[in-house]
Chains A and B, each alone.
Chain A
Amino acid sequence: MNALLEAQGLHLRFGAVRALDDVALSIWPGEVVAIVGESGSGKSSLLRVLAGMQRADAGQVLYRDAAGATHSILDASDAALRRLMRSDWGFVHQNARDALRMEVSAGGNVGERLMAAGNRHYGNIREVAAHWLERVEMDPARIDETPKNFSGGMQQRLQIARTLVTSPRLVFMDEPTGGLDVSVQAKLLDLIRGLVADLGLAVLLVTHDIAAARLLAHRIMVMRHGQVVEEGLTDRVLDDPRHPYTQLLVSSVLAA
């Protein structure tokens, strides 16, 4: 089996700030990898570079599609990236409002990717959208309401439905539970865990919530100042952290 996504030697600077300093990473089909670290450590930058949303200064990112063809993300054309984003990938943003169309109904939001992929059957689009609302534990009777009426947690579930409806192979999530109430966060994490397992998704999950990483991830990468300071299987990293920074991170969670 081959890695789904492989990155090497990634460098990215913003002026004097090294957002990424020689980062390497790989993720395999069906694997959930959490990227943890303090604020400003470069997590979002890494995600954006891997998804082709931000050009790195140096390095390489290779994506292998379902047909086995390899795409060099840092050299890919705008058109090729958009095609991947439409067919193979999904991106879940921290703020659902950045991803949802707030004037468009829940059904239209979920159906957009289906229509972009060429589905031209209204009844079928609606049926799939209703089914996905149920899957993210929303009342399908609300299919014609716009997200403006929904709570933050519901908006986030709608964003997840909208992203997963076309069964992407790889999903990037940047703090998907950030900014929500703790009880809402817990439910959402459960939901994500169920969906990821059912669909066999590969997920790159950025979070600074160690508990979320423990719940969802097979592997953890710890970032600090643009570098990966430690990585390994989730239980190993959290139960037996080797790098002093990871030890600090884990103990501060335990203390809290």
Chain B
Amino acid sequence: MNAALTGYNFGYLDEATKRMIRRALLKAVCIPGHQVPFGAREMPLPYGWGTGGIQVTASVLGPDDVLKVIDQGADDTTNAVSIRRFFNRVAGVATTESTAEATIIQTRHRIPETPLSEGQILVYQVPMPEPLFRLEPRVAESTRLHAMAEYGLMQVKLYEDIARQGEVATSYNHPVMVNHRYLMSPSPIPAFDNPKMHMNAGLQLFGAGREKRIYAVPPYTDVRSLDFEDHPFKPVRAPHACAICGSEESYLDEVITDDQGGRMHVCSDTDYCASRPPV
């Protein structure tokens, strides 16, 4: 704790704010997939940098926690580094790049390849929490649709994708049904990651700063990707092996290697990739 800045409360937010956010989190855990409004605070970062996720992390973080932050699967991007450094300064917590060692993982756009275990918390940064917002821009109406579990409209969108393109077009942010009740946006993770949400041993928390919403998927909760019986959901992955570790299971990024159009595929999860023997 001695490395932490003085003059800030532990975890940056004041205790009253953390209590308010924890209350919203508890409610969110009780109603899996349901969006709970919360009084989001101004954070020393612009929206789009994960202010919702940061507030959730700040509210669940304790001095003994070990924090990992990833952005698109990588620990070393500017966004991940600055959020990690922020919590190191305002809470003095230990940080790690190892999924297995972390107690809290804040993420943008990915779920780690290494399965979570009980007791671990995954905090998602969410730009737009409302899965219906493109289809039903009126907030009062989309709230009503959730209240009555009227999700035919979302299914119409999937129907249109198949009718126009032969398949469902959402390769990321593919909507899910949580606990057979609430339609939920998984945040812009690749559809490949969706199955990892289902019956996950860890606690999954979602924070949307600009929209001031929190939602959650408690451990071992049923999470299904929307689909049709005759067009079942497919978690797509580039048909390659990782050029570094040879994995044929992990989600891959395509990397341009030179000016001549050379390219290779490597794991998007840098910790997973580094933990495997190189090919």
**What string of 1s and 0s marks CB contacts (under 8 Å) between A70-107 and chain B?**
00000000110010001000000000000001001101
Q: How far is the CB of A109 from chain B (nearest CB, A)?
A: 8
Q: How far is the CB of A168 from chain B (nearest CB, A)?
A: 15
Q: In the complex the two chains form, is B159's CB within 8 Å of A111's CB?
A: yes
Q: In the complex the two chains form, is A121's CB within 8 Å of B228's CB?
A: yes
C-alpha gap A120/B156 in the complex (Å): 10
C-alpha gap A190/B96 in the complex (Å): 73
Q: In the complex the two chains form, is A115's CB within 8 Å of B230's CB?
A: no
Q: In the complex the two chains form, is B152's CB within 8 Å of A112's CB?
A: yes
User: Which listed residue, B153, B227, B230, touches A123 by the CB 8 Å rule?
Assistant: B230
In chain A, positions 114-138 with a C-beta closer than 8 Å to chain B are 115-117, 120-126
B170 beta carbon closer than 8 Å to chain A = no
The total of interchain contacts (Cβ-Cβ below 8 angstroms) comes to 54
A104 proximity list for chain B (CB < 8 A): 156, 160
Interface residues on A, range: 20 to 34
Q: In the complex the two chains form, is B229's CB within 8 Å of A121's CB?
A: yes
Q: Which residue of B lies closest to A143 (CB)?
A: B163
B144 beta carbon closer than 8 Å to chain A = yes
C-alpha gap A209/B81 in the complex (Å): 72
Chain B contact residue count (CB 8 A cutoff)? 18
B150 beta carbon closer than 8 Å to chain A = yes
C-alpha gap A225/B223 in the complex (Å): 56
**What string of 1s and 0s marks CB contacts (under 8 Å) between B50-80 and chain A?**
0000000000000000000000000000000
Q: In the complex the two chains form, is A111's CB within 8 Å of B228's CB?
A: no
B148 proximity list for chain A (CB < 8 A): 78-79, 82
User: Which listed residue, B144, B152, B155, B163, touches A107 by the CB 8 Å rule?
Assistant: B163
Q: In the complex the two chains form, is A108's CB within 8 Å of B160's CB?
A: yes
Given known A79-B148, A116-B150, A144-B164, contact A122–B231 (CB-CB < 8 A): yes
B162 beta carbon closer than 8 Å to chain A = yes
User: Which listed residue, B152, B159, B231, touches A113 by the CB 8 Å rule?
Assistant: B152
Q: In the complex the two chains form, is B153's CB within 8 Å of A112's CB?
A: yes
- Chosen A-B contacts, 13 in total, with CB atoms closer than 8 Å, are A82-B150, A104-B160, A108-B160, A108-B163, A111-B156, A112-B156, A120-B229, A121-B229, A121-B230, A122-B159, A122-B162, A123-B230, A126-B163
Q: Which residues of A approach B to under 8 Å, CB–CB?
A: 78-79, 82, 86, 101, 104-105, 107-108, 111-113, 115-117, 120-126, 143-144
